[in-house]
Amino acid sequence: METMDLAGKVALVTGSGRGLGHTMASRLAARGAIVAIHDISREAPAEFGEFADLDASAAAAGAKLGVVGDVSSESDVARFIGEIEAALGPIDILVNAAGGDIAAAGGKPKPNDALGVKLVDMHAMLNRNLIGTILLCQAVGGKMAERKGGAIVNIASSAAHIGRDDGVIYAVAKAGIVEYTRCLAYQLRPHAVRVNAVSPGPTRTARFDATRPLDPAMTVTEGTLDRYGLPAEVADGVVFLCSPEARFISGQILRVDGGLQLFAA
């Protein structure tokens, strides 16, 4: 049985209408948090067949509220943060899970390397990942500092820690999230606000399965760490960093990748 050590804590998980974010939101709710889920639109959770809409996603997660908006828009962020505060109260836990290696027109950028990626796709990926994370932290982190407490977890990626010739701007954006996390943790340390990041390795979400060929040898779920991760395994790391057990941990990057970093820097 889950401990209820997050009871009464208001949590926002961006990008949680589906995928990794949804599992994180569900795990936080199971620990007693009062959870708001978020996606870019009410219809977005249906894109890969996970939920009919945001309301269905919220119900499945045990969330109290679903909000929509573009995380790279200051006005959207201000609006949906206001909606959460009005309905649930001040935000105690922020998880920035919105992101993805997604082109301006959808799908993966083509080309997606260091020399060929198009400017419009650069803007889309930097906005969706890095800028969105920064805007949410700015909107919520200062208020946490005023209240002398809170936990922020930013979602980076194993891609942030290695050189690569594909998914380059996504990797750059996630590396930016890693450094921003450290800088924000430094700034908020005197105010008892903890800021950490989680870098997942390749993880089997509905989007992951639908947008790339899978290596059958990597689809096993036990008996080896040389495999794809599961959303619950990433979510457990996030919830730990939000929990009282991590009360003296800040400025850290937790790689949840089954030891992939041992072979990739």
Active site residues: 170
Phi and psi at residue 85, to the nearest 5°: -65, -40
Which helix (H) or strand (E) is 84 found in, with range? Answer: helix 74-88
Measuring CA to CA, which residue among 100, 229, 121 is closest to residue 171? 100
- Token digits for 211? 């947008």
Measuring CA to CA, which residue among 36, 40, 106 is closest to residue 70? 40
CA atoms within 13 Å, Cβ hemisphere of 141: 25
What is the rounded end-to-end Cα distance, in angstroms, of the chain? 37
∠ CA 249-250-252, rounded to 5°: 100
